[in-house]
Amino acid sequence: MATSDYDVIVVGAGNAAGCAAMAARDAGAKKVVMLERAPEDEAGGNTRFTAGAMRVVYNGVEDIQKLVELSETEIATTDFGTYTRDQFFDDMFRVTQYRTDPDMCEILVTHSLETLVWMRSKGIQFVPIYGRQAFKIGGKFKFWGGLTVETRGGGPGLYDALQEATRREGIETLFETLAVDLLSDGHNVTGVRVKHKGRLRELKAKCVVLAAGGFQSNPEMRTRYMGPGWELVKVRGTRFNTGEAARMAFAVGAASYGNWSGGHAVGWDRNAPEFGDLAVGDQFQKHSYPFFVMVNADGRRFVDEGADFRNYTYAKYGRVILNQPGQFAWQVLDAKVAHMKRDEYSIKQVTKVTANTIEELAEKLEGVDPQQFLKTIREYNAAVRQDIPYNPNVKDGRRTEGLEIDKSNWANTIDTPPFEGYAVTCGLTFTFGGIRINTDGQVVDTGLDPIPGLFAAGECVGGLFYFNYPGGSGLTAGSVFGRLAGTSAGRAAARGG
- CA dihedral (288, 293, 299, 303) in degrees, to 10, reads 90
Residue 203 CB burial class (10 angstroms; 0-12, 13-18, ≥19)? buried
Q: Class assignment of domain 5-215+432-494?
A: alpha beta
Residue 404 CA from chain centroid, whole number? 31
Half-sphere exposure (CA, 13 Å, Cβ side) for 201? 16
- Give the C-alpha separation, 245 to 173, whole Å: 17
Beta strands in 404-483 (DSSP E): 419-431, 434-435, 442-444, 450-456
- Give the C-alpha separation, 184 to 72, whole Å: 56
What is the chain's length? Answer: 497
Give yes or no for a contact between 479 and 15, defined as CB atoms under 8 angstroms apart.
yes
Alpha helices, DSSP H only, in 30-150?
61-64, 72-76, 85-95, 102-110, 112-121, 130-133
pLDDT per residue over 413-433, tens digit each? 999 999 999 999 999 999 999
- Give the C-alpha separation, 140 to 152, whole Å: 22
Q: Which CATH architecture has domain 265-427?
A: Alpha-Beta Complex (3.90)
- Compute the C-alpha angle 124/128/129, nearest 5°: 110
Give yes or no for a contact between 127 and 152, defined as CB atoms under 8 angstroms apart.
yes
Provide CB contacts within 8 A for 263, sequence distance 6+: 214, 216, 226, 319, 428, 429, 430, 431, 432
C-beta neighbour count of 137 within 10 angstroms: 13
Q: What's the pLDDT at 145? A: 79
Q: What are phi and psi of 194, to 5 degrees?
A: -125, 160
- Give the C-alpha separation, 45 to 36, whole Å: 9
Residue 157 CA from chain centroid, whole number? 16
Comma-separated ranges of CATH 3.90.700.10 domains in the chain:
265-427
Beta strands in 290-351 (DSSP E): 293-295, 329-333
Task: Name beta bridge partners: 428.
Answer: 235, 265
- Give the C-alpha separation, 332 to 492, whole Å: 55
Query: Pairing state of beta strands 263-269 and 419-431?
Result: antiparallel
How many helices (H) and strands (E) would you count in the chain?
Answer: 14, 22
Give yes or no for a contact between 215 and 16, defined as CB atoms under 8 angstroms apart.
no
Provide CB contacts within 8 A for 307, sequence distance 6+: 313, 408, 409
Three-state DSSP string of 433-448:
CEECECCCCEEEECCC
Provide the sign of the torsion angle of the four alpha carbons 42, 43, 46, 50, taken in this order: negative
* pLDDT tens-digit profile, the chain (497 residues): 434 589 999 999 999 999 999 999 999 999 999 999 999 999 999 999 999 999 999 999 999 999 999 999 999 999 899 999 999 999 999 999 999 999 999 999 999 999 999 999 999 999 999 877 877 777 888 887 789 999 999 999 999 999 999 999 999 999 999 999 999 999 999 999 999 999 999 999 999 999 999 999 999 999 999 999 999 999 999 999 999 999 999 999 999 999 999 999 999 999 999 999 999 998 999 999 999 999 999 999 999 999 999 989 999 999 999 999 999 999 999 999 999 999 999 999 999 999 999 999 999 999 999 999 999 999 999 999 999 999 988 999 999 999 999 999 999 999 999 999 999 999 999 999 999 999 999 999 999 999 999 999 999 999 999 999 999 999 999 999 999 999 999 999 999 86
Between the two ends of the chain, the Cα-to-Cα distance in Å is 22
The overall longest dimension of the chain from CA atoms, in Å, is: 73
Q: What's the pLDDT at 2? A: 39
Residue 48 CA from chain centroid, whole number? 11
* Cβ-defined contacts of 127-133 (< 8 Å, 24+): 127/68, 127/151, 127/152, 128/64, 128/68, 128/70, 128/74, 128/78, 128/80, 129/53, 131/343, 132/51, 132/53, 132/342, 132/343, 133/53
Comma-separated ranges of CATH 3.50.50.60 domains in the chain:
5-215+432-494
pLDDT per residue over 259-276, tens digit each? 999 999 999 999 999 999
Which residue type, as a one-letter code, is found at position 365? Answer: L
C-beta neighbour count of 11 within 10 angstroms: 29
Give yes or no for a contact between 295 and 414, defined as CB atoms under 8 angstroms apart.
no
pTM for the structure as a whole: 0.93
Task: Name beta bridge partners: 352.
Answer: 422
With H, G, I as helix, E, B as strand and everything else as coil, classify residue 219: helix
